[in-house]
Amino acid sequence: MGQYSDNFVERLHLVWGPGFMSPGGAEEVAEIVSGLELEGALVLDIGCGTGGPSIALARDMGAYLICIDVEQHLLDRAKELARQEGVGDRIEFKLVEPGPLPFQSETFDAVFSKDALIHMPNKMEIYREILRVLRPGGALAASDWLAGENAITDGSFQEYLTIANLDFIMATAEQIVQVMRDAGFECIRTTDRNAWYAALSTIEVEQIKGPLREQIVSVSDLETYNSWLSVRCALANAAKSGGLRPTHLRGYRPKVLS
């Protein structure tokens, strides 16, 4: 079943809402794509998970989407949620293998990803593939969990990596900008969301300790709850220390490739 078991997904949904496996909901999706005209656009969502961001893009922005993930049970959930939300006819969900994107060059008006690129070990490969499948002038609009410049020496960040038990491959914003530039993107910009999430993560921990406790136990068990609470506290501490830095990424395929 991969990294995201059903009870893990249920816990994430309790904290972040149905279809969302990372923070911020539809409002954060709107921030990521701010300034892009997506009405009628064909958008690729990389690492769509259980579909919340894709549904928001279809429902609120008028986009058509092809959404990919490597875990079938996540796609099954996403497809059902899209049907319930009335946008199933605007979204296609596809199971893919890790590696090159299974699409022809210059297929998409935009590429979107919410907090999934962290799982990609070869950053240059995925950014080159994103550039390839974008139409000339098309945009990448994404968010990702990045590492702060202090990550190597930050005890809170290192503690989080130790206990989180997820396959995360993190880079700094400076490193990602260089990778995007080398891949061929132009007009690259990053928006640091650390302050926003450092505050939000504190609220999340309090919700997990209080109002959400019994619901989380009910979809897992007490041992899992206690272990996960430790992970969430470590994540909040890593955000507060600056070692973990959620970041928005934006870049464009040149209209004429050099």
Q: Look up the CATH number of the domain holding residue 154.
A: 3.40.50.150
In this predicted structure, the answer to whether residue 1 has a pLDDT above a threshold of 60 is no
pLDDT confidence of residue 258: 61
Question: Residue 47 sits in which domain range?
Answer: 6-252
Compute, in degrees rounded to 10, the torsion defined by CA atoms 162, 99, 109, 38: -30
Segment 92-141, tens digit of pLDDT: 999 999 889 999 999 999 999 999 999 888 999 999 999 999 999 999 99
CA dist 192 and 83 (Å) reads 34
Pairing of the two strands 108-114 and 186-192: unpaired
Residue 217 has pLDDT above 60, yes or no: yes
Q: What is the mean pLDDT of the chain?
A: 94
The domain tally of the chain equals 1
Q: What is the pLDDT of residue 163?
A: 85
Q: What is the mean pLDDT of residues 163-184?
A: 87
Evaluated on CA atoms 141, 142, 147, 148, the torsion sign reads positive
Kindly give, in sequence order, each residue whose CB lies less than 8 Å from that of residue 8, ignoring residues fewer than 6 positions away: none
34 occurs within a structural domain: yes
15 falls within a domain: yes
Q: Give ∠ CA 83-86-90 in degrees, rounded to 5.
A: 85
User: Residue 100: how many CB atoms within 10 A of its CB?
Assistant: 13
**Does 251 score more than 90 pLDDT?**
yes
* Segment 196-214, tens digit of pLDDT: 999 999 999 999 999 999 9
Structure confidence at residue 50 (pLDDT): 98
- CA separation (Å) from 205 to 10, 209, 230? 16, 6, 9
Is 33 within 8 Å of 62 (Cβ atoms)? no
List 138's β-bridge partners, or say none: none
Question: What tens digit of pLDDT does each residue of 16-74 get?
Answer: 999 999 999 999 999 999 999 999 999 999 999 999 999 999 999 999 999 999 999 99
Q: Is residue 257 part of a domain?
A: no
Instruction: With respect to residue 1, please indicate whether it lies within any of the assigned structural domains.
Output: no
Question: Is residue 201 within 8 Å of residue 239, measured between CB atoms?
Answer: yes
Can you read off the two tokens belonging to residue 164?
Answer: 């989180």
The DSSP code for 88 is: G
